[in-house]
Each structure stands twice: as structure tokens, then as C-alpha cells.
């Protein structure tokens, strides 16, 4: 990919985490209030939905690993073998935002 400069604040504000998860093939198994629960895609053998997304805040938390954050933090955890820059580039590609 070309040498891009990223506006991380713009990515945090404008990239929809739920849409990104859907584009990656993940759908919520249940909804409670404003939170969606998924089987964790960040670890193997998750038997109950423990990956939670707060739709309004655009934040996630994986109860199994005790970590969470923004859509950018998700990208870094989802693609652990990529550099930060590469993970953000992949996020942009997957999210359809360029």
C-alpha cells in the first residue's frame, strides 16, 4: 500500500466497529441494551459470547482476555502479526473507507 498518513482520530470517530466486524464475517449472537455480544474472534475456543461491543460508544471489550478499546485497538489485536501501520491499513481496506 502507498505511504499514507492516518488521521487516527478520524478513524476512531468515523469507522463503525459493528460494520467492520460484519465485513470480517462476525455477527453478534445476542444483544443486551446497547451492547452486542459475539464469540471472541481474538482467541480460540470461546464457547459463550464474551466479546462485547457498545454500539453507541463504538468500543469493544473482550471479557476473556480483559482487553478492549477502539476500532484501532481491535485492528491491532485482530492482526497481531502486523505492525501498527499495517493493521490500520488493513482496517481501512476491510472497512471500505479510504
Q: Which domains occur in the chain, in start order?
A: 8-95 (3.90.580.10)
Residue 3, pLDDT above cutoff 80 = no
pLDDT grade for 2, boundaries at 50, 70 and 90: very low
User: Cell 466497529 belongs to which residue?
Assistant: 17
Q: What is the pTM of this model?
A: 0.87
For residues 7 and 81, what is the distance between their CA atoms, to the nearest angstrom? 22
Cell digits of residue 44: 480460540
Mean pLDDT taken over the chain: 90
Instruction: Write the pLDDT tens digit of every residue in 15-62.
Output: 899 999 999 999 999 999 999 999 999 998 888 999 999 999 999 999
Q: Averaged over 76-82, what is the pLDDT?
A: 97
Residue pair 78/42 in contact by the 8 Å Cβ criterion:
yes
Q: For residue 98, what pLDDT is reported?
A: 56
For residues 51 and 53, what is the distance between their CA atoms, to the nearest angstrom? 7
Amino acid at each position: 500500500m502507498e505511504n499514507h498518513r492516518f488521521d487516527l482520530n478520524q478513524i476512531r470517530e468515523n469507522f463503525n466497529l459493528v460494520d467492520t466486524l460484519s465485513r470480517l464475517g462476525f455477527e453478534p449472537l445476542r444483544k443486551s441494551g446497547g451492547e452486542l455480544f459475539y464469540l471472541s474472534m481474538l482467541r480460540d475456543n470461546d464457547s459463550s459470547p464474551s466479546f462485547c461491543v457498545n454500539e453507541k460508544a463504538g468500543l469493544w471489550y473482550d471479557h476473556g482476555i480483559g482487553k478492549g478499546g477502539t476500532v484501532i485497538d481491535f485492528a491491532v489485536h485482530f492482526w497481531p502479526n502486523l505492525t501498527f501501520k499495517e493493521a490500520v491499513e488493513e482496517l481501512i481496506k476491510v472497512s471500505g473507507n479510504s
